[in-house]
Amino acid sequence: MRTIELESMAIEMPAVAGHPNREPFVGVLTLIDVPSDRPPAGARGHRVILTRAAADAALPSLLGMGLDYSPSFDRHDAQRKVGIITRAEIVGRALELGGHLFAKDFPEILHKIARVPRELEARWRRSGHGRGLGMSYEIADASVADLRANIWTLTHVTFTGAAILRRDKAAYQDTWIELENNT
């Protein structure tokens, strides 16, 4: 008999029917035990692997953290929070997130996630999820197994948030974000 393990955490938000500033989102933040497609910011040009042990230990640090964006969706902007992460779980090799976007405060974000212009959709499309947008994690207190390695293995991290990015700018191009009610 094979045992399958699922790690999951969530903050229970009180239900408020029709809340104008809470639009639920879901997505994949990163892949676990898989080398990044490109070096993330702060990795000094190295691609990285986030180990399952590091991700498991850091899962609680994601809850309550902000989700940010830059208007061009090409970088992180930690001072432009457009949502909050209320759920994080590891499913297979994917670190999946859920939470709320601040819909009333940032209607343009909902519009971008729900409808990417055709010319951008064709350019950004990869797996069909997230309409060309992906996500990227923000971390602190990272430990690297061997700083001389070509690909850095992250053995410890603390998540400090996440960003919505175009997939072609994300370290992991198989990440995605969607409005929960739009899937």
- Reported as a single tens digit per residue, the pLDDT across 47-85 is 999 999 999 999 999 999 999 999 999 999 999 999 999
Question: Which burial class, exposed, middle or buried, applies to 2 when counting CB atoms under 10 A from its CB (0-12, 13-18, 19+)?
Answer: exposed
User: 134 Cβ partners below 8 Å, 6+ apart?
Assistant: 27, 28, 164, 165, 166, 167, 170, 172, 173, 174, 175, 176, 177
Predicted local distance difference test score (pLDDT) of residue 18: 87
Radius of gyration of the chain from Cα atoms?
16
pTM of the model: 0.84
80 inside domain: yes
* Residue numbers of the domain that contains 25: 20-182
104 inside domain: yes
The more confident residue out of 77 and 15 is: 77
User: 31 Cβ partners below 8 Å, 6+ apart?
Assistant: 50, 93, 94, 95, 172, 174, 175
2 inside domain: no
83 inside domain: yes
Split into its structural domains, the chain has a count of 1
Q: For the chain, what is the mean pLDDT?
A: 87
3 inside domain: no
Residue 1 pLDDT greater than 80, yes or no: no
Predicted local distance difference test score (pLDDT) of residue 31: 98
100 inside domain: yes
Predicted local distance difference test score (pLDDT) of residue 10: 74
25 inside domain: yes
Residues 34-41, mean pLDDT to the nearest whole number: 95
76 inside domain: yes
Predicted local distance difference test score (pLDDT) of residue 63: 96
Residues 132-151, mean pLDDT to the nearest whole number: 96
